[in-house]
Amino acid sequence: MTLLIMAAGLASRYGGNKQTDGFGPNGEMIMEYSISDAKAAGFDRVVFIIAESMKEKFPEYINKNVNGVETAFAVQGAEGFPEWFTKPEGRTKPYGTVHAVLCARDYIDEPFVVINADDYYGREACFDIAGAMRDMKNEGEACMLGYRLGNTLSGFGAVTRGVCSVENGILDSIEETYKISKCDDGVIRSFGVEPPKELDGDSVVSMNIFGFAPWVFDELEKSFADFLKEQGDSEKAEYPLPVFVDSLIRSGKLAVKVVDTDAKWFGVTYKEDKELVREKLAQLGGLR
C-alpha cells in the first residue's frame, strides 16, 4: 500500500509553510510521525504532493531522514490539468485536494491512503485504515476514517470539516462545511451559512483520510475537468476531495466504508496551534 501525503497547500491562515515546519522534539515535521505510523501498519511506499517551491530541498530532506519506505514526489503545479486548460494569469492558489491527488496519478498503481501533511491522525487510526484497505475487494469501493467533530476543533479559530451522514457503517453523504467553531455557550456552529447552523459534536466528520484503489484516478480526471469548465477561470475556487467523494456516492459509483474512531485529532490550522502540537508530539516520546 502507498501513503499519499498532500503537502502543497499555501497555509494562508498559518502564515507560513506548516507542512514542513518542525514540531517534534528534534524538529520533526508532523508528517514524519504519520510516516512512522504508516510503516508500522504495513505501508511500503510514500508519495508526496509538494509545491513547486519545495521540489529542490524537500526531497533531499526526506531521503536523508525517512528510511524503510520507497518515496516519490509529485509537484502540484502544471501537472494534472487537461491539455485544453490554461490557468488564469496570476493565479498562485492551488486548485484543491482533488487536483492534488490527481497529480500523483503517474506515481501510483496500487491501493493508496490519502492524508494531510499537517494533521496527525494517531497510530491506532493508521492501523484501522490499513485494515479497511485490505478488506476492499471490488472496484467502486473505498474507505474513510471517521472522526467525531468535537475531537477535531481548533481553540484558535474556525475550521473546515466534511460533515458526514453514515448508514450502517457506509457513508451516505458528506458535506464540506466551513467556518466551524465552538462558541462561548459551548455549542458548535458553522458560520459558513446564514443563519449559523448548529452542529452535533458527535457528528462524524472527514479529516481527508481516504483509502482508494487506482481506478479512482479516471473518475478524478473526469470530475476535475468538469470543475475546470465551470470554475477554472476563478482566482480562488478549489475542488475539495470530500465534494468529489460525495458526488461519486450520489451517482452510485462509490461505496465508502466508514472506519469509526474516537481518536482526538491534532494538527495545525493557525500559528497559535503550534505550541499545543509540540506538546502532543513530545508526549509521544519522539519518532517510533
Report pLDDT digits (tens) over 69-88. 999 999 998 778 999 999 88
Average the pLDDT over 161-189 and give the result.
95
Placement of cell 477561470 in the chain: 233
Write out pLDDT tens, residues 141-153: 999 999 999 988 8
Q: What is the pLDDT of residue 236?
A: 87
**Res 237: pLDDT:** 93
Model pLDDT, residue 10: 47
For the chain, first and last CA: distance in Å?
20
How much is the average pLDDT of 126-135?
92
Torsion, Cα 12 13 17 22, to 10 degrees, reads 180
Pairing of the two strands 197-199 and 170-182: unpaired
pLDDT of 25: 75
Range 234-247 burial, b when 16+ CB lie within 10 A, else e: eeeebbbbbbbbbb
Residue with more model confidence, 276 or 35: 35
The whole-number pLDDT of residue 205 equals 95
pLDDT digits (tens, 9 = 90+) for 232-271: 999 889 999 999 999 999 999 999 999 998 777 788 877 7
pLDDT class for 18, splitting at 50, 70, 90?
Answer: low
Average of per-residue pLDDT across 34-52: 93
pLDDT exceeds 80 at position 109: yes
Residue 5 reports pLDDT greater than 80: yes
In sequence order, the 6+-apart residues with CB closer than 8 A to the CB of 19 are 7, 8, 9, 11, 29, 30, 31, 117, 118
CB within 8 Å of 124: residues ≥ 6 apart: 261, 263
Query: For position 288, what pLDDT does the model report?
Result: 61
Q: What is the CA radius of gyration of the chain?
A: 18
Query: What's the predicted TM-score (pTM) here?
Result: 0.90
Label residue 15 by pLDDT band (50, 70, 90).
very low
Residue 19 pLDDT greater than 70, yes or no: no
Q: Among candidates 203, 205, 121, 194, which has minimal Cα distance to 161? A: 205
Query: 7: helix, coil or strand?
Result: coil
Segment 221-234 mean pLDDT = 95
Query: Residue 16: its pLDDT value, please?
Result: 46
The residue behind cell 473526469 is 222
Q: Residue 65's pLDDT is what? A: 86
Query: Which one is predicted more confidently, 236 or 172?
Result: 172
